[in-house]
Amino acid sequence: MTPQLPIVYVVSDSVGETAEFVVRAAASQFHGGRVEIRRIAYVDDFEPIREVVQAAKESNALIGFTLVLPEMREALLREADHHGVIAVDILGPMIQAFSKINNQSPKNLPGLVHQLDDEYFRRVEAIEFAVKYDDGKDPRGLLRADVVLIGVSRTSKTPLSMFLAHKRFKAANVPLVPEVAPPEELFEVNPRKVIGLTISPDELNLIRTERLKALGLRSQANYAAHERILLELEYAEKIMKRIGCPVINVSNKAVEETASIIMDIIKRGGRG
């Protein structure tokens, strides 16, 4: 019989991400590190507090909460204590500490961190975009992207897309394969938004050979053959010249270094 996972009710007057992150971080310190999170978000009156405490009592769960308003925090702690439920105030002690060190009263505005942090939402949107339009899965996204990365397999297109997404750029990428014509949408994108990625044949051979080994395949496969690599790189160069986009040689470059070059190009309006 599979043992039941510990249950934690996460209660918040906002999204509840902070509390859930802390709960999972704490759970990871114990064997197995697994926990069932039941998130109760946007709590703005006392009735949900009574309901969640009762539910926690019935399921032998504990409560982790981030409630900014003092009266809501106190109400939850009182209710939990009355029913013998463990409740942990995740945000309150830190707010009190800041109040003491700054000699100021807190604003006590629920959800303020996300209201103020538009960058957070842009980052989330960019990450979702990068996942959705990775590897040319849906060419319709190319015309909506801030930057489109093109290149042969193993030129770090996906890692770069995710890195750029964390910097709030909507990045799409398209693999260039001689046997598969690029989507027509690629040639409709402003060339200044397209970045070509190239690499030395020897380094690509090494990367692909290691990739094949990791997959348990023969390193002599055509994927890593020098002739195949030269064919792909020549084809990719033709496509990049046709588009007229900036080209970056990623040989011996870390993802962060290449991403920095890309962001500089974007800021200069696509002039490499």
Residue 67 CB neighbours (<10 A): 25
Question: Residue 1 has what pLDDT?
Answer: 47
- The reply to whether domains 7-116 and 118-267 share a CATH topology is yes
The model's confidence at residue 69, banded by pLDDT at 50, 70 and 90, is: confident
The amino acid occupying position 5 is L
The HSE-up count of residue 196 (CA atoms within 13 Å, CB side) is 21
In this predicted structure, the answer to whether residue 220 has a pLDDT above a threshold of 80 is no
pTM, two decimal places: 0.60
* CA Rg value for the chain: 26
Q: Residue 122 burial (CB < 10 Å; 0-12/13-18/19+)?
A: middle
- Return the SS3 of 203: helix
Has 156 been labeled as part of a binding site? yes
Has 161 been labeled as part of a binding site? no
Query: Can you give the residue ranges of every domain in the chain?
Result: 7-116, 118-267
Q: What is the pLDDT of residues 186-206, one digit of tens each?
A: 999 999 999 999 999 999 999
In this predicted structure, the answer to whether residue 210 has a pLDDT above a threshold of 70 is yes
Instruction: Average the pLDDT over 182-187 and give the result.
Output: 96
Has 193 been labeled as part of a binding site? no
Structure tokens at 11: 């209660």
Q: What is the pLDDT of residues 99-158, one digit of tens each?
A: 788 777 655 555 545 444 567 778 889 999 999 999 998 999 999 999 999 999 999 999
Has 219 been labeled as part of a binding site? no
Domain 7-116 has CATH 3.30.1950: no
Domain 118-267 has CATH 3.40.50: yes
Phi then psi for residue 153, to 5 deg, are -60, 140
Has 213 been labeled as part of a binding site? no
Has 158 been labeled as part of a binding site? yes
Question: Residue 107 has what pLDDT?
Answer: 55
